[in-house]
Structure 1
Amino acid sequence: MAYDAMGQDFADHAAGGAANAHYDRPAMLAALGNVADQDVLDAACGPGFYLEELIEGGARVRGFDGSEEMIRLARQRVGEGVEIRQAGLDQPLPYGDGSFDSVLCALAIHYAADRRATFREFFRVLRPGGRCVISTQHATTDWLRKGGSYFDVVLETDIWRVGGREQEVRYWREPLSELCSAATDAGFVIRQVIEPRPAESMRQAWPEDYAQLMQRPGFLMLDLLRLSEVGRPD
């Protein structure tokens, strides 16, 4: 698995890197809002940066990831007292129905081969009135970068350079309509489609990245709501 191979190098990069620390993380946490006294699931939790922030915000957190190395790093960051299980986004989740008030899935839904099934699992583990906030690579930006038809669903390959080494990372590219349909077919109502701007902190640390992201989005977020037991408005 790519994240097992990248391990500590990825965690070091994500700790202060432009895309993670100054773009996705602040945008996702702002969208999720006040989590005090909530049961929150961090889906594909990686090395635990979001878990740490959620705990600081007063949430009761649980997490899972498919990578043994990411789980090790997450436990190292937040302690053994936080339940972190090994599970993948393409598997039934190891939680009961209605276990959580919120689900957060940061920059990971594009790794799931069946996004509809993943959203159905997120819906299942949420309580009525619960929210699911996800971020992913922006469909238009990926299409402009990769070419081909915007409307195709394609398994893409990128080469990341992390810690001085190259790592192949595979992910699914799909049009925005497909992603939104996957969420609504699972029962969710879309509260908001968010094209985040970078945090002001990026301007000083990463001025070129800041200027680019202020003109062309890199990521896309969906803020989803579970309205009722059957997932439809009453």
Structure 2
Amino acid sequence: MQADLYDDYADSYARENASSLLNAHYERPAMIALAGDVRGRRVLDVGCGAGPLTAELRARGGMMTGLDGSPAMVEIARRQLGDDVPLHVADLAAPLPFADAAFDDVVASLVLHYLEDWGGPLAEIRRVLRPGGRLICSVNHPSVRAFHHPTEDYFATRPYTEDFEFAGEPVTVPFWHRPLHAMTDAFTAAGFRIRVVSEPAPSPTTPPELLPPRIATGERTAFLSFLFFVLEADGEGGSGSPVGAS
């Protein structure tokens, strides 16, 4: 996880995430729609950042818990969410501090593409989900990299970087590319069934001035950016000893 990066840019990233096209009007509405009715469901937000998705799902009745690798991001989330949402600083690449089958749903919003290895994190997410529970996640769409960099090997799992501005501050962010089949193989190896694969359009409430011109005019309906999955944990149940679970 890129905890040190987001510690350095926590405030500017939180501001960007709150209002940007890709976060506020594309990725987050899609995650909320895929989560559906979460009333009374125990939901873990891994990579919760400053807590915007946690807050939205809490407002819809979810019993929320948040986790992020960046202490600075968790501190912002505490200020945003108050004391009624348990928040944890923890690395998704390490054992999670929760008991087996502790949650009905896990949401992982733009998290997995920071990780070289998905096996351990997905096994831990599977462990803390009840049988039949859901993992709802979004990742960088693998086709985007292939489209913009056709000479690169699409089929290789490899690192790359992209340049962004967080609230006007330039930032270089490292990611891991993996092809679609490597994603689905990792999900099924960890004990998940793939229920939904989604490539949504932006939210219909997106301010027109934020949309790419061909979307705003109606010439096109959507754009490639992120890929979304709804996964169901198999019925075998979690295993292993949780670290730090009460």
Shorter-normalised TM-score: what interval?
over 0.9
In 1, Cα distance between equivalents of 2:33 and 2:139:
16
Q: Which residue, out of 166, 169, 193, partners 2:197?
A: 193
Given that residues 139 and 227 in structure 2 are in contact (C-alpha distance below 8 angstroms), is that contact kept between their aligned partners in structure 1? yes
Q: Which residue, out of 170, 184, 194, partners 1:180?
A: 184
Aligned to 2:34: 31
Aligned to 1:226: 233
Alpha-carbon distance, 1:59 to partner = 1.1
In 2, Cα distance between equivalents of 1:211 and 1:45:
29
Alpha-carbon distance, 1:207 to partner = 2.5
Aligned-residue CA RMSD (Å): 1.7
TM-score normalised per structure 1:
0.94
Aligned to 2:90: 87
Q: Are 1:10 and 2:13 an aligned pair?
A: yes
For structure 1, the 5+ residue unaligned runs are none
**Structure with higher helix content:** 1
Q: Are 1:211 and 2:215 an aligned pair?
A: yes
In 1, Cα distance between equivalents of 2:75 and 2:207:
32
For structure 2, the 5+ residue unaligned runs are 239-246
TM-score normalised per structure 2:
0.89
In 2, Cα distance between equivalents of 1:207 and 1:160:
18
Q: 1:124 to 1:142 in 2, by over 3 A?
A: same
Q: Are 1:72 and 2:79 an aligned pair?
A: no
Alpha-carbon distance, 1:55 to partner = 0.9
Q: Which range moved further: 168-177 or 211-220?
A: 211-220
Given that residues 198 and 210 in structure 1 are in contact (C-alpha distance below 8 angstroms), is that contact kept between their aligned partners in structure 2? no
Q: What pairs up with 1:62-211 in 2 under 5 angstroms? A: 62-147=65-150, 148-202=152-206, 204-208=208-212, 211=215
In 2, Cα distance between equivalents of 1:64 and 1:72:
11
In 1, Cα distance between equivalents of 2:195 and 2:11:
36
Moved over 2 A (4+): 212-216
**Any idea what the Cα deviations from partners look like across 1:28-47, whole Å, max 9, x if unmatched?**
11001100001000000011
